[in-house]
Structure 1
Amino acid sequence: MPIHRTTRNTDTVRTIAPGDQPARPDVRLGGPAARSRPTSGGAGPDRLVARHTVQTSTADYSLVLNGPAWMTRRMLGEAIGDAVAELRAIDVTYSPLREGSLVSRLRRGEVAPEAYPPLLDIVERCNAMRAATDGWFDAWAVPGGFDPSGLIKGWAVERAAARLRAAGIEDYAVVSGADLTVRGHAPHGGPWRVAIHHPYQTKRPPIMLAMTGGAVGTSGVAGHQNHVVDPHTGEAVHHLAAATVTGPDLAVADAYATALFAAGRAGLAWFPTADGYRALLAPTR
């Protein structure tokens, strides 16, 4: 896969050389066959591994939890329930697709973001990403007004991951579409092995990452066409087949990926960032 790398690897995200790639990744992202799901095998005898999927109005989520030795099955189940409740609550309260959500009410001018701290957090994050990308990520440059869709899924994943950490789980992967956040180790005991597939050219080998922390945000990797527009013109963009960004926070990585997909290679002026975000771009040809 012809990927442009923009900066060196970090301690928590490492590119695996083609000759060292494992036969079985833990997570596959992208490709036309909807392979964006965890595929990890079993863990050692002293660890509990749980997998769970949940569907909301805007996204599907998959969780893989590698529980600590002291955690019981009941405790693991409660941690999953707490993370799932967070994802469902965010969908009901902030989904742009729900007429009664705070985001929809904000679009209609019925509420002010200052009245709801999480809504204000979303608005401020979108403001920050518009400034960081020279306007190529612009949640206001869409039909109907404010739409944080390019950021809010990653925001939801990070909040669900925070619930897992609060329960004492330090080894997990939370995946949604071609986006993920991971921490610690996979069930096999090593770093999470993430395969990023080209969205259309299925015979190309994937890019393989070894991760013990951080996020992968994508735009175009899932194979959806005409889903990103140039915020300056309103026209659908086709500069790239895919844009992938790795970094500490999925909401930020998602927004950067959306902006890069819109801007094409011109967006590489933003990378590398001082806070650890790096870009992988797949050209259209």
Structure 2
Amino acid sequence: MRRVEHVMGFPVSLRIDDVDVAEEAVGAVFAWLREVDERFSPFKADSEVSRHGRDELARHELSADLVEVLDLCEHYRLATGGAFDVRLPGRGFDPCAVVKGWSVQRAAESLRAAGVRRFCLNAGGDVVASGGPWRAGVRHPEHADRLCAVLELTDTAVATSARYERGDHIIDGRTGRPATGLLSMTVVAATLTEADSVATAAFAMGAEGIEWAASLPGCEVFAVDADRQVLRTPGLPVAEEPSAAA
């Protein structure tokens, strides 16, 4: 089974290789992501995130989901010494860097709870792979038609933060300026919640984020720094390397 929808501002594709899959389980995945878009988008004035950003909701009035997201945001802010910060001056409260991976991981867990075992859920290039092995390409940070590596994923997740789609959009919260020490940062972890958050947080830290991400238990890293040097951890599940980054 294959299904693709445009949700939360990017394409989400789901491929399921199990023989028997309930349509309800697939529908629930996309219904949840649409719900997340309504509740957590900082671009929608009536969303819970926007209302919280305007201080219209007290802590006890927040949903358990938003409290979980806020706790994750604070964890990575502290872990990076403030480089990762969802409350930047002049930009308002924007937890999208955490919400994406967290919500897609929740969707994947709903599939597993429904008995689906072999699937690949791809949300704008960030992937949760169940069963396997599945292959996921790491895009070259400067050439859209080339890959730096192909990863082999089994019951794991991968996310990439980079400058090639949205320019210098990731801000180092310590300086208030765009993070430019890296061209791309890819993280493989047990969940997309962790992979996506760590990739963005490490990118915000710049070159020092490579060592930080690599030191986290269960995280494997593939990074290209501003000097176009490739750095990766020994346990990165590489299937093949089609080209060099330089």
Q: Which residue pairs with 2:2 in the alignment?
A: 51
Q: Which residue pairs with 2:102 in the alignment?
A: 155
Cα distance between partner residues in 1 of 2:216 and 2:225: 25
Structure 1 pair 271/219, CA: closer, same or farther in 2 (3 Å)? closer
Aligned length: 226
What are the superposed Cα offsets for residues 166-189 of structure 1, whole Å, 9 maximum, x if unpaired?
Answer: 11101111111221111102xxxx
Q: Which residue pairs with 2:220 in the alignment?
A: 278
- Helix, strand or coil for the counterpart of 2:166? coil
Asked if structure 2 preserves the Cα contact closer than 8 Å seen for 1:216 and 1:250, the reply is: yes
Comparing 240-249 with 197-206, greater Cα deviation is found at 197-206
Asked if structure 2 preserves the Cα contact closer than 8 Å seen for 1:197 and 1:205, the reply is: yes
Amino acid at match of 1:100: D
TM-score normalised by structure 1 residue count:
0.74
Structure 1 pair 220/156, CA: closer, same or farther in 2 (3 Å)? same
1:92 to 23, 28, 38: 38
Cα distance between partner residues in 2 of 1:270 and 1:241: 16
**Alignment pair present for 1:136 and 2:87:** no
What are the superposed Cα offsets for residues 236-271 of structure 1, whole Å, 9 maximum, x if unpaired?
Answer: 222221111110121222121112222222123424
Structure 1 pair 145/196, CA: closer, same or farther in 2 (3 Å)? same
**Alignment pair present for 1:266 and 2:245:** no
1:221-260 paired onto structure 2 within 5 Å: 223-260=165-202
Q: Which has the higher contact order (CA 8 A, sep 6+)?
A: 1
1:56-205 paired onto structure 2 within 5 Å: 56-67=7-18, 69=19, 71=20, 75=22, 77-115=23-61, 116-185=63-132, 191-202=133-144, 205=147
Comparing 119-128 with 195-204, greater Cα deviation is found at 195-204
Amino acid at match of 1:236: P
Cα distance between partner residues in 1 of 2:17 and 2:153: 15
What are the superposed Cα offsets for residues 23-47 of structure 1, whole Å, 9 maximum, x if unpaired?
Answer: xxxxxxxxxxxxxxxxxxxxxxxxx
* Identity among equivalent pairs (%): 35
Q: Provide the alpha-carbon RMSD of the alignment.
A: 1.9
Cα distance between partner residues in 1 of 2:10 and 2:163: 15
1:274 Cα shift?
Answer: 4.7
- Higher strand proportion: 2
Asked if structure 2 preserves the Cα contact closer than 8 Å seen for 1:129 and 1:252, the reply is: no
Comparing 98-107 with 238-247, greater Cα deviation is found at 238-247
Amino acid at match of 2:134: W
Asked if structure 2 preserves the Cα contact closer than 8 Å seen for 1:58 and 1:95, the reply is: no
Asked if structure 2 preserves the Cα contact closer than 8 Å seen for 1:200 and 1:223, the reply is: no
Structure 1 pair 283/147, CA: closer, same or farther in 2 (3 Å)? same
- Which sections of structure 2, spanning at least 5 residues, go unmatched? 229-246
